[in-house]
Amino acid sequence: MTLQLTSEQVWTELNKQLFAVLGMVTLKGEARTAGVVYTVHDHKIYFSTSKDSWKVRHIQRNPHVSLTVPIARRISLMPWIKIPAATITFSGQARVFDATGASHDILQALFRGLESDTEKLATMSIVEITPIGGFVTYGIGVPLMQMRFPEKARGRASTV
């Protein structure tokens, strides 16, 4: 049985995190992933990257992406016991735009004090990802001990 989560439960967890693995397709049709540091704004994910990066080239060619957010889980008094990460994953539509076109809130969240460096901003792009379909989760909204049972730890939620 798959756990039914609300969209807000998932967005709340996404807001607490900052690292994700972006999945995309190269110009040659090969699968690639890259780690990104992101922020959430109005139920969309944003990250920055250099204008001439391979991520920008791949996304501009094929804007269909996936994003997986790993969420470390630990037992408070026994941190040496390894627990698999909880995850949130989804497909999305990406859009690349010039960093100077981003709102102040997004720039502040991504650049953390460097958003006023106009020289740096001129070399950067922002990628906006709009989730499509639903979220697929593992270990979200369940106690640690339930993560041992995939049928209890798997979850789904609408993206809206």
Domain limits, the chain: 3-155
Among the ranges given (35-39, 67-71, 104-108, 119-123), the one the predictor scored with the smallest mean pLDDT: 119-123
Cα–chain center distance at 6: 18
When comparing pLDDT for 104 and 120, which is higher? Answer: 104
Q: Give the Cα separation of 8 and 157 in Å (integer).
A: 9
3-155 domain in CATH 2.30.110.10? Answer: yes
pLDDT of res. 9: 94
Mean pLDDT of 68-72: 95
Contacts 24+ apart (CB under 8 A), 144-151: 144/73, 144/75, 144/83, 147/73, 147/83, 147/84, 147/86, 151/1, 151/2
Instruction: For residue 16, name the pLDDT band (cuts at 50, 70, 90).
Output: very high
Give the global pTM: 0.90
